A = this chain, B = another copy of it.
């Protein structure tokens, strides 16, 4: 990790992540927790008011990558992403929790779980991430 920058700052370097409005709740070697406030622009359908699947996929993707950063390792990009949609998200602050499943030299694997304000599981998934070459 860049000296002098914490994970919240790194999250906010990204224009898209700033737009999502992410807040780092907790981070350590065992994983991290990110929250995101509800916003009408994130909605898929104004009638059902379900959150767009692409937003949940974004949360799963970035939470896994930041779980690798929180473990003290550097991933530079996502190789592949898989998301399961368990329940429609229809309002309230979302919480994404990520943890590393396997650290590797070339690629690492992390999983993330997204819950709603009532604690119910909304989506979860995994990413495979490309690791930075050793310095």
- Which A residues fall within an 8 A CB radius of B? 13-17, 19, 40-46, 50, 52-55, 57-59, 61-62, 77-88, 101-102, 106-107, 109, 121, 124-126, 128, 130
Contact = CB atoms under 8 A, between A and B. Distances in A.
Contacts of A121: 101-102
B109 A107 contact: no
B102 A77 contact: no
Contacts of A81: 53, 57, 81-83, 85, 125
Given A58-B54, A61-B54, A62-B54, A109 B86 contact: yes
A63 to B, nearest CB: 11
B79 A84 contact: yes
